[in-house]
Amino acid sequence: MDREAYRRFELLRQASAQLHRLHPAHVVMTAQELEANFRRPLETWLPDEIRGELTGVLLALSNAPTRTCTELLLEFNAREQYEQTQQLIRRVRDICKAIPEGDALYRSFREFLVLNGKTTRHPLRVLFQPLDLSVEDLYRQPERHEVLAGKMYLCPSCHWPMTITQSHIACPSQWCEHAGSIFDLHRRQVINRLDGNSLKGQVVSDETLVLQDACWKFTLLPSSALALSE
């Protein structure tokens, strides 16, 4: 077993143990059984107390995480993520109160997050330096399931990279998907499933970064953005 396979195996074992702690009456699954269940509908194997109202599979045929997977992960850690994100925003706000022209800098910072679900390191370094932030505080490198043939496709609603599977391209947010951010691949074009318009991809380079998941959820999504509007 190579190092990556061993790491995945250990994560699956930990997930199985955590699932048992959350619901002791549930049958303990092996790492292999848990991984196999990721491709089965949640409602057939995950206890309702944990699943809530989420339905569907966690992994697509291409092994990319589905919207259900993203939402389950975000909701499972929602409180911790919310508090961490709020704390970071408050820290930036307090720094801006103590420096010259801080109000304008704070507005630029918030506007940048809203408008740049995808960016590169250079503008981040320029913006973040006076705010005592590192690039990694708010941004990360793109995941494999967010890139197709060297390009990523940003959600028209929230400007974050959409998830790419073998059958379609869609925003991980259910709100955005309902608003029309769901596309099909047709002859190397990405076509909106509702209005038939094509979407241009954004070239990905070694410098490309995207907003971290928690910051996306609590900053870009229309249903959550008001939480950080102070």
**What digits encode the pLDDT tens for the residues 94-145?**
999 999 889 999 999 988 988 888 999 999 999 999 998 999 999 999 988 8
In a domain, 186, yes or no: yes
In a domain, 71, yes or no: no
Tell me the mean pLDDT in the region 2-29. 75
Is there a single domain that holds both residue 57 and residue 165? no
pTM recorded for the entire structure: 0.64
HSE-CB for 29 with a 13 A CA cutoff: 20
The pair phi, psi for residue 162, each rounded to 5°, is -85, 160
Please state the domain count of the chain: 3
CA distances to 27, 155, 187 from 161, rounded to whole Å, are 37, 6, 21
Domain range holding 215?
78-141+206-228
In a domain, 129, yes or no: yes
Is there a single domain that holds both residue 170 and residue 213? no
* Number of CB atoms found within 10 A of residue 26's CB: 14
Q: Which residues have a Cβ under 8 Å from the Cβ of 147 and sit 6 or more positions away?
A: 161, 164, 204
In a domain, 163, yes or no: yes
Res. 173 pLDDT band, cuts 50 70 90: confident
Q: Which of 46-55, 68-77, 136-145, 163-172 has the lowest mean pLDDT?
A: 68-77
Q: Give the per-residue pLDDT at 204.
A: 94
Token pair for 71? 């939402």
Q: Across-strand partners of 183?
A: 169, 192
Is there a single domain that holds both residue 154 and residue 196? yes
Q: Give the per-residue pLDDT at 230.
A: 44
Is there a single domain that holds both residue 105 and residue 219? yes
